[in-house]
Structure 1
Amino acid sequence: MMEEIKNFWLDIKSALEFKLFEIQDYSISLYNILIVVLVFIAIRLLVNGLERLLKRQLSDKKNFTEGKLIAFTKIGKYIIYVLGFILALKSVNINITPILIGSSALFVGLGFGLQEAFRDFVAGIMLLFEGDVMVGDVVEMENETVGVVKQINLRTSKVRTRDGIMMIVPNSQLTNDRVINWSNSNRLTRFRVDVGVAYGSDTKLVEKLLLECADKEETITERIKPFVMFQNFGDSSLDFSLYFWSEEVWRIERTKSRLRFSIDQAFRDNKVTIPFPQRDLHFKSKDISLKD
């Protein structure tokens, strides 16, 4: 029995030592391939275990946000992948020292070309650790695009707009540009709807109608009363603004649209006119005498 086991092991060893190819002093055997496969399986198991461990150990801490948890997990994954890659190269008898020395000049050149990517990478770490922008936040970027942050990676983030478009945004844009995080603001946010009425309109009636329209809108909070500002004597109209507070940040454009419909109907019912822009042109005429 022992002799059979010994012979079986020798057969396996002989099969594993079979060289798939050989170039000068370098060769790869089935044993090397098996080690590489086992290394990558171990890396995968280690990454999954690390993720579960971090979630279990850090999720209970009050000062540890979800962004920091994601940051630690992603950085840990990268470290494990790099170490695993080096170990895999070692297992197939590849010496990485000459590779690193020989490619140092290449790395310098890549460094200049990858400045933007490195800046985005650093910005991603800042976002994940600081938590200024987190997954699920409603943000408004410099180009007035409003969207929900769906994912934050180390280099880019994914933002879904109101139109359902998934935008891939460089993280440096979220840290360096002016970005409004509506979710980090007070739950109650102030908005306004502008409207102009014709000269000669009853301004007190206009104020009353605007406030009545605001009171009818369910998404406008009752905790802070809306108010109307007489903004200006415009070129063609008396300009008013209706200010109100709402928690419906993501759907605020729908609220504004319903308000405009309501205001238009209220003005029609009460004979309040919204004027067209107009320009008065004055021509000076001169008498032209015709001589025969």
Structure 2
Amino acid sequence: MAWYAPVAANVWCQALAVVLIYLLLAKATDLFIDRILRRLASKTKLRVDDYLIDFLHAPIYRTIFWMGILHALVVLALPPPWRTALPALAKTVILLGWLVALLHACNQLAEDRLAQNLSQGKIGADLFNLVKNLGIVVLVIIAFLWLLAIWHIDMTPLFASAGIAGIAVALAAKDTLANFFGGLSIFLDKTFKVSDYIVLDSGERGEVVEIGIRSTRIKTKDDTIVTIPNAILANSRIINESAPVPRFRIRVPVGVAYGSDLRQVETVLLAVAHANPGVASEPEPLVRVRQLGPSSVDCELLCWVDNPAQHGLIRHTLLLAIHDTFLQKNIVIPFPQQDVYIKQKP
């Protein structure tokens, strides 16, 4: 054991021993994550734990190894400038390793979420990608600022110039930013999604075909595209005919002559609704007597359609069927009329 004392006293041997100990610790942690935690995660139905293990696996291994390098540098007690430069370099490698892992995890998660959102029509691909890229830019900026702090670089001039540039950009792109955040609020509030039928404040009605970065496009029944800036939509009253379920109620007002059998009228209207293939069976159609009007007894047929896009066509077929059936049943639809009494003077 005579050789042990000089070896143990050698700082380079001590540093190498520190690195080997940290390397063994990193390998043990890697095996624990890969063999035990991954097996436990595979037994759950959640995917977030799988993402978490894939994300943490490599960065933790590299971080422990580079922490061993940092510890070894402390043991070596190198002279300036290596005493500050090499630890800063090791910290930079650790930071960049975590940044790459975060960017990879964000891209992988974004691809899965994009496919899910596109299939459900919640958001357009361009807006989703912009949000993803914005998140990546934020991560890179945070890592850059952290990197400057590691190398002890004064960031005050940088913040001052960035503030001035930010004000200039914000003023120049005020409308663009308003539209972007309007689209983001539509996405977060789930006001509507692609394929929903909406009615605007202006009365225009159509199917949402795209939720973009700056604007939303709806397709009307005239096969025309209406483009509305997201900032306007976010501050407007919007009727979503497809929410919370893609179902729409049709109201068909019908006036019949006084003296008509109202129960027969109710039976006829319900039969017409049940015979129409476009009318949903659940909830069942209803008939309500609304008022005794000046010229007629005003009734209303209430029924549901599963596809809001077809409500105009179904209303048309219902009116045709009601008219034909009333003719067959001798149920009179009266003209507007008014009785005039002339008072004779004596």
TM-score of the aligned structures, taking structure 2 as reference length: 0.54
The letter of the residue matching 2:318 is L
3-state DSSP of counterpart to 2:266: helix
- Partners of 2:170 and 2:309 lie apart in 1 by 45
Alpha carbons 2:257, 2:297 under 8 Å: kept: yes
Shift of 1:249: 1.1
- Partners of 1:172 and 1:279 lie apart in 2 by 51
3-state DSSP of counterpart to 2:123: helix
Is 1:56 the equivalent of 2:111? yes
Alpha carbons 1:71, 1:129 under 8 Å: kept: no
User: 283, 293, 298: which is aligned to 1:234?
Assistant: 293
> In angstroms, what is the RMSD of aligned CA positions?
3.9
Note the residue ranges of structure 1 that are not aligned, 5 or more in a row: 1-48, 84-98, 288-292
User: Which has the larger share of strand?
Assistant: 1
2:234 is matched with which residue?
A: 175
Change (3 A) 1:185 1:102: closer
3-state DSSP of counterpart to 2:270: helix
Change (3 A) 1:51 1:144: farther
2:250 is matched with which residue?
A: 191
Equivalent residues, number: 223
The letter of the residue matching 2:336 is P
Shift of 1:80: 8.9
The letter of the residue matching 1:275 is P
Shift of 1:271: 1.1
Is 1:216 the equivalent of 2:271? no
Alpha carbons 1:198, 1:275 under 8 Å: kept: yes
User: Which has the larger share of helix?
Assistant: 2
Alpha carbons 2:127, 2:211 under 8 Å: kept: no
TM-score of the aligned structures, taking structure 1 as reference length: 0.63
1:74 is matched with which residue?
A: 130
2:212 is matched with which residue?
A: 153
3-state DSSP of counterpart to 1:251: helix
Shift of 1:155: 2.1
- Partners of 1:61 and 1:154 lie apart in 2 by 19
1:142 is matched with which residue?
A: 201
What's the % identity of the aligned pairs?
A: 26
Identify the range of structure 1 (145-154 vs 67-76) with the bigger mean alpha-carbon deviation: 67-76
Larger Rg: 2
| Residues 45-124 of structure 1 mapped to structure 2, 5 A cutoff | 55-59=110-114, 66-67=122-123, 70-76=126-132, 114=174, 118-124=177-183
- Partners of 1:101 and 1:190 lie apart in 2 by 53
Identify the range of structure 1 (251-260 vs 179-188) with the bigger mean alpha-carbon deviation: 179-188
Is 1:251 the equivalent of 2:310? yes
- Partners of 2:176 and 2:115 lie apart in 1 by 33
3-state DSSP of counterpart to 2:202: coil
Shift of 1:235: 1.3
Alpha carbons 2:179, 2:231 under 8 Å: kept: yes
Shift of 1:78: 7.0
Shift of 1:160: 0.4
Note the residue ranges of structure 2 that are not aligned, 5 or more in a row: 1-103, 141-160
